[in-house]
A and B are shown apart, each in its own frame.
Chain A
Amino acid sequence: MPDLSQPNLIHIEQLTKIFYTDELETHALSGVHLSIARGEYVAMSGPSGCGKSTLLSILGLLDTPTAGQYTLNGKEVANLDFSDRSRIRNQEIGFIFQSFNLIGDLTVFENVELPLTYRAGMPAAERKERVLHALERVNMAHRTRHYPAQLSGGQQQRVAVARALAGSPSILLADEPTGNLDSKNGEAVMRLMQDLHAEGATICMVTHDPRFAAHAERQIHLFDGKVVAEGELLELLADPAHNASTSTVGTE
């Protein structure tokens, strides 16, 4: 359940992202306002090209906005340099990717341990304890020495969830976590996400599957780089004038 007694974990105001190419500027996000409270489970959805992944990139400090404010855990993070973004990303954010993004050369244990090795000063014993605890939470503690290629898709995603959890992040950002899974494994991962939320985790998940979006306690809809209400989204989708959802403007 969201903790409304504390300031929002994430607060975004007037966030804009424009991609520039030789002749075009593409407005991926146009003045987005968004707040996520601690302990909240938010699902972001919208049609292809609406700006979901761009917003997730900025929320995860993988990218920087062109303009606007972004406050994470009380700190303004919109315009940090590469190293500060890396450090905060490592400490505050846990990523769950659609295609798991496990590193094939590393064992399950090493994959989960990887982000912890980037934290200066964390002793090896503490890393081990955290890794084993995270793997136990996703029921993968018996596969520590396996390589990703030796696991099923569902198991790989559970390992990816463990990797995201091991660092005790402020928020879990999930990008289509069920996108590469069959329905059975997809449901299992969604149950795992619900369990994590029940234990207090803050989750922001991108999905375009309404069934999975329904697991979240709040749904945000994006269209044409803006947050819109659900009813408004349905109207916009029905309008044939909005075939291309991302606006592009010629610079010449």
Chain B
Amino acid sequence: MIASIRQALRSLRRSPSFTVTVIATLGIGIGLNAAIFAVVDCVLLRPLGYHDADRIVSIQTHFIDENRSISRIGGNDFVDLAHQVKGLEAVAHYQGGWSDGISLKGEALYLPLAWASPSFTKVMGVQAIAGRVFRPEDSDANDVLVGAAFAREHFGSAQAALGQSITYQGAVRPIVGVLPDGFSLPAKTEVWVEEKPDPETRNRTAYNQRAIGKRRVDVSPGQLAAELSSFSTQLQNAYPEDRLKTIEAVPLQEQIVGKIRPMLHLLMGAVAIILLIVGANVTHLQLVRATQLLRSVTIRTALGASRGVLAGRALLEALLLSAAGCIVALLLAVPALKLLVRIAPDDIPRLTDVHLNLDALLFSFALSALLMAVTAVLPIWRSWHIDPSLALSQDTARGG
């Protein structure tokens, strides 16, 4: 096997234009694909990195007459939900995620900030890396949580942030805990300011807050949907302003990434087309190479090489090229991914978590190997139909 690899490498080295062109073509095609896949994998495919993330739901208001939903809920609708819907073990409301001004150690900062009710951290299942999270029973609602990066930047460490305070909207608020890196709901939030358990504005048509809940372990999504449907009917019967709306629960991940799914699918489609072009180019190059190798393959066939041997040799070359192409692809994917993250719209969630992971590496290698294997099929098929007697006719100009 080692001798076969050595011979295949030598053969490729002796065809530098073919080898370099194939590796570069593969590298560009697979590299783009790996970068896009890394984004899709992190944003769309990976489960949210929260405890029991599959049980966290986003509460939506659906307007029946307009047939549209918003991921917000009216003030008193939330209060009724929190008290009446038994399929949820905890509910919380929050808002923000946009930049606001705070004062820290006498310095004014403008950063992404959110307000969240005390149950917010319980629903999300997040634990503090220093200090504590919000207490659901808190009613004074004055605590502040900060992200780990914020703590490092402004206090040197997570532990050093504890006992410090920030001033927000004229009130001094203690930092009681530091949340781990990677926790960012709403997206990019660095500071979470505690709010009271019930929304400040109770109006059922004041859709100021988002709401999340954690489905009970023993309640299925279908059962929760049925309970919310029944709950919505009660609201419709009790309150005129709720007559044309229902309350729904969708997985939090769907709420976060649902809007950008079509765009990412479109991007994947574009990259698939690029892959097709790469495949066509590599197939063409492989056929040219097969023509160059015609004499060698004819001699091998004449000397008794079976079709399996011929295919094995071609596939070994394809595998070596795909491995080299994959390495180039990954070298290109790193800057491509950085560029992609930089130019991506701000509203794409979890973008800060995007990186080339093992899945992206395996995906790239599998794609590269598959592409090379597919493009090797036609040359292999041609090699199987070479007439071995050409070994003699290649010899002679005479027609005897």
What residues make up the interface of A, taking CB atoms closer than 8 Å to B? Answer: 46-54, 56-57, 60, 62-63, 82-83, 86-87, 89-91, 95, 97-99, 101, 103-106, 110, 114-115, 118, 163, 175-176, 179, 206, 208, 222, 246
Q: Does B267 contact A (CB under 8 A)?
A: no
Question: Nearest Cβ in chain A — how far from B201, in angstroms?
Answer: 79
User: A49-B400, A106-B7 are known contacts. Are A63 and B387 too (CB-CB below 8 A)?
Assistant: yes
Cβ-closest chain A residue relative to B11: A105
Query: Are B307 and A101 in touch, CB under 8 angstroms?
Result: no
Q: Offer 20 A-B interface pairs, CB within 8 angstroms, sorted by A.
A: A48-B398, A51-B400, A52-B400, A53-B389, A53-B393, A53-B396, A53-B400, A57-B392, A60-B302, A60-B392, A62-B392, A89-B302, A95-B303, A95-B391, A97-B395, A103-B299, A115-B304, A118-B309, A206-B400, A246-B399
Interface residues of B (CB under 8 A from A): 3, 7, 10-11, 14, 295-296, 299-307, 309, 387-389, 391-396, 398-400
Report the nearest B residue to A46, measured CB to CB. B400
Q: Quick one: closest A residue to B10, CB to CB?
A: A105
Is the beta-carbon distance between A118 and B303 smaller than 8 angstroms?
Answer: yes
A101: which of B305, B387, B395 is its contact (CB, 8 Å)? B395
Q: How far is the CB of B128 from chain A (nearest CB, A)?
A: 63
Min CB gap B381→A, angstroms: 13
In angstroms, Cα B384 to Cα A86, docked, is 12
What separation, in Å, do the CA atoms of A163 and B299 have in the docked complex? 12
Question: Are A103 and B395 in contact, CB atoms less than 8 angstroms apart?
Answer: no
A62 to B3, CA, bound (A): 27
Q: Which residue of A lies closest to B390 (CB)?
A: A62
Contact, CB under 8 Å: B392 / A53: yes
Given A53-B396, A206-B400, the answer on whether A83 and B303 have CB atoms closer than 8 Å is no
Specify which chain A residues have a CB less than 8 angstroms from the CB of B389 in the assembled complex: 53, 57, 62-63
Do B392 and A114 touch across chains, with their CB atoms under 8 A apart? no
Pick from B3, B14, B306: contact of A83, CB under 8 Å: B306
Residues A98 and B306 in contact, CB atoms below 8 Å apart: no
Give Cα A163–Cα B302 distance, bound, in whole angstroms. 12
A210 CA to B299 CA in the complex, in Å?
A: 28
Q: Given the known A-B contacts A46-B400, A53-B400, A118-B309, are A90 and B392 also in contact in the complex, defined by CB atoms under 8 Å?
A: no
Residues of B within 8 A of A87 (CB): 304, 306
Q: Judge whether B392 and A175 touch: CB under 8 Å.
A: yes
Query: What CA separation (Å) do A81 and B182 show in the bound complex?
Result: 64
Distance (whole angstroms) from the CB of A92 to the closest CB of chain B? 10
Q: Give Cα distance in the complex from A89 to B392, angstroms.
A: 14
Shortest CB-to-CB span from B38 to chain A, Å, is 38
CA of A23 to CA of B373, assembled, Å:
40
Docked pose: A104 CA to B300 CA in angstroms: 12
- Whether A176 contacts B395 by the Cβ 8 Å rule is yes
Q: Pick from B307, B388, B392, B400 the residue with the most CB of A within 10 Å.
A: B400
Query: Can you name the residue of chain A whose Cβ is closest to the Cβ of B3?
Result: A110
Which residues of the partner chain B approach A90 to less than 8 Å between Cβ atoms? Answer: 303-305
Beta-carbon nearest neighbor of A48 in chain B? B398
Contacts of A104 in B (CB 8 A): 14, 296
Once A57-B389, A62-B302, A62-B388 are accepted as A-B contacts, the answer to whether A98 and B395 lie under 8 Å apart by CB is yes
Residue on B with the closest CB to A101? B299
Instruction: Assess A101 versus B394: contact at CB under 8 Å? Given A95-B303, A110-B7.
Output: yes
**Residues of chain B lying within 8 A (CB to CB) of residue A47:** 400
Q: Are B14 and A105 in contact (CB under 8 A)?
A: yes
Tell me, in angstroms, the Cα distance from A208 to B3 when the chains sit together.
40
Contact A86/B304 with A118-B309, A206-B400 known, Cβ cut-off 8 Å: yes
A105–B3 CA distance with the chains assembled, in angstroms: 13
- A57-B392, A86-B306, A104-B296 known; 7 other A-B pairs, CB under 8 Å? A48-B398, A51-B400, A95-B303, A115-B303, A115-B304, A118-B306, A175-B392
Q: B299 near A89 (CB under 8 angstroms)?
A: no
| Contact present for B395 and A105 (CB under 8 Å) | no
Cα distance A179–B400 when bound, in Å?
A: 14
Are B300 and A175 closer than 8 Å at their CB atoms?
Answer: no
Minimum Cβ distance to chain A for residue B275 (Å):
31
Q: Which residue of B lies closest to A164 (CB)?
A: B303
Select from chain A the residue with minimum beta-carbon distance to B6: A110
Task: Indicate the member of B11, B304, B305, B307 with the most A CB atoms within 10 Å.
Answer: B304
| Contact between chains at A86 and B305 (CB < 8 Å) | yes
**Which of these, B302, B306, B394, contacts A95 with CB under 8 Å?**
B302
A98 cross-chain contacts in B, Cβ below 8 A: 395-396
Of the candidates A52, A105, A176, the one having the most CB atoms from chain B within 10 angstroms of its own CB is A105
Contact B392 A56 (CB under 8 A): yes
Chain A's nearest CB lies how many Å from the CB of B66? 70
Within the complex, what minimum Cβ distance (angstroms) separates A208 from chain B?
A: 8
Residues of B contacting A163 in the complex (Cβ-Cβ under 8 angstroms):
303
Give the residue name and chain of the B residue nearest to A64 (CB): B389
Q: Which of B11, B304, B393 contacts A118 (CB 8 A)?
A: B304
CB neighbours (8 Å) of A46 from chain B are 400
Residue of B nearest to A49 (CB): B399
Distance in angstroms from B270 CB to nearest chain A CB is 39
Assess whether A179 is in contact with B395, with CB atoms less than 8 Å apart: yes
Determine if B394 and A99 form an interchain contact, defined as CB atoms under 8 angstroms apart: yes
> How far does the Cβ of A204 sit from chain B's closest Cβ, in whole Å?
13
In the assembled complex, the CB of A171 is this many whole angstroms from the nearest CB of chain B, namely 14
Who on chain B is nearest to A173 by CB? B392
Residue of B nearest to A63 (CB): B389
How far, in angstroms, from A73 to B11 measured CA to CA in the complex? 37
Instruction: Assess the B300–A114 pair: CB atoms within 8 A.
Output: yes
- In the complex, what distance in Å separates the CA atom of A110 from the CA atom of B5? 13
Bound-complex Cα distance A133 to B301 (A): 24
From B11, B303, B396, contact of A175 by CB (8 A):
B396
